Structure 1
Amino acid sequence: MTFHLKGEIKTGRVWLRYKELYPGESQRLINHSPDGFNWGYGGSGPAQLALAICLELFDRKKALKVYQVLKWRHIATLPQTDFERDITIDQYLL
């Protein structure tokens, strides 16, 4: 599975498949980061982003199971700048 992801570092805004992604739903489930999304390291903002992405792509049970893997393999490795790229999820998430 491949999806398009874009992020603006100054605002913390993120678009998944060209649709803006908001942290609210993922924060209601697990509030890793009250400040919202971030990327480029392995902290709470990237965890919130990974969870939000997984909740959009998978059912809740699967999202909770795999979001930390997505964080470490893809979100933590993004540059700490604006970015736009296609991300391909390997078998570990499918």
Structure 2
Amino acid sequence: MKRFSGDRTIDGVKASVDGRPLDPRLDLHRYTANGFEWSYEGDEPRQLALAILAEHLNDPADAKSLVEPFMKAVVANFDNEWEMTSADIDAALQALGSGSLRAAS
């Protein structure tokens, strides 16, 4: 099970998966050149949503199709520090009506 986390530090925001920096997946789509952010709706949270979903689902098309609802329902509501597991993401996707999508193990 993967563990995603984010933190606001004096050096800026940090997002990681299993302790390593989370790939912003600019190869899939570039919403912003400003990196990740969260706790509001916008381009930086959208980039974070794409990165989380792409890592979790291992399916670029599904990740891209779910960015907007996942960003609005989940990423825009993160606190300054946050943590999610693969199970948390599955539960969020199911709540968004995407329960048939599952992470590739």
* Per-residue deviation, 1:22: 2.7
Greater CA radius of gyration, 1 or 2?
2
Match for residue 21 of structure 1? Answer: 22
Instruction: Give the SS at the match of 1:86.
Output: strand
**Could you list the per-position Cα deviations for residues 50-91 of structure 1 after superposition, in whole angstroms to 9, with x for gaps in the alignment?**
001111112111111112221111100012x2x132351331
Q: What root-mean-square deviation, in Å, do the aligned CA atoms of Structure 1 and Structure 2 show?
A: 1.9
Structure showing greater relative contact order (alpha-carbon pairs closer than 8 Å, 6 or more residues apart): 1
- Runs (4+) off by over 6 Å: none
In 1, the alpha carbon distance for the partners of 2:56 and 2:74 equals: 15
In 2, the alpha carbon distance for the partners of 1:51 and 1:18 equals: 18
In 2, the alpha carbon distance for the partners of 1:55 and 1:76 equals: 18
Match for residue 66 of structure 1? Answer: 66
Between the aligned residues of both structures, percent identity stands at 26
In 2, the alpha carbon distance for the partners of 1:28 and 1:5 equals: 20
Task: Note if 1:55 corresponds to 2:59.
Answer: no
- Does the C-alpha gap of structure 1 residues 3 and 72 become closer, same or farther in structure 2, counting only changes over 3 Å? farther
1:32–1:47 contact (8 Å) kept in structure 2 = yes
In 2, the alpha carbon distance for the partners of 1:37 and 1:68 equals: 15
1:46–1:76 contact (8 Å) kept in structure 2 = yes
What's the TM-score once normalised by structure 1's chain length?
0.79
Q: Which moved more, 1:3-12 or 1:63-72?
A: 3-12
What's the TM-score once normalised by structure 2's chain length?
0.72
Task: Note if 1:43 corresponds to 2:42.
Answer: yes
Instruction: Give the SS at the match of 1:6.
Output: strand
